[in-house]
Amino acid sequence: MKRFRFALDGVLDYRQQVLEGRQNEYAKALRQVREQQERVDEAKQRYSQTNCLFRERAAEGIAIADALGFENSLRALEQEIAREVKILQERESQAEKHRALVLQAHMDASILERLKEKQQTAYQKEVQKQDERFIDELISAERAGRSES
């Protein structure tokens, strides 16, 4: 009997390529989320440092113009943080969409892999049955040959 050949191997290969592509896209999206989270953290750190410096100078006594400068800096940093957080949320949303696509592609590939395994198991059972029939025929032929002698 010839070797097992899965009729949908081309489709399975395609589905696996799609899965790999979507996994790469998801990995890229996660990397962008991490990078954006770092930007948010850096902006928050700058805000915290500026705020601490402002409080120290205010405790020592500073001019009104300097205090207004600090407050303007703090407001600008708050706006920057808000922008960066908004970008982070958008990137997290995109990453979640990519994750869903990866899951779907994985399910599509898994279905074909299970079908292939099932058909291969059935094929192996059929090969085993044919081998057993062949052996039975050999034994029967040998017995028939002995009984004629």
Whether 14 is in a domain gets the answer yes
State the chain's mean pLDDT as an integer. 93
Which amino acid is residue 56, in one-letter code? E
Number of domains in the chain: 1
CATH number at residue 70: 1.10.287
Whether 129 is in a domain gets the answer no
Whether 19 is in a domain gets the answer yes
pLDDT at 142: 83
Whether 119 is in a domain gets the answer no
pLDDT for 148 beyond 90:
no
pLDDT for 2 beyond 80:
no
Q: What is the pLDDT of residues 120-139, one digit of tens each?
A: 999 999 999 999 999 988 88
Whether 149 is in a domain gets the answer no
Whether 112 is in a domain gets the answer no
Alpha carbons 64 and 61: distance in angstroms, whole number: 9
Whether 148 is in a domain gets the answer no
Beta carbons of 85 and 40 less than 8 angstroms apart: yes
Beta carbons of 120 and 6 less than 8 angstroms apart: yes
Q: How confident is the model at residue 4 (pLDDT cuts 50, 70, 90)?
A: confident
Q: How confident is the model at residue 149 (pLDDT cuts 50, 70, 90)?
A: low
Whether 147 is in a domain gets the answer no
Residue 94: domain span: 9-107
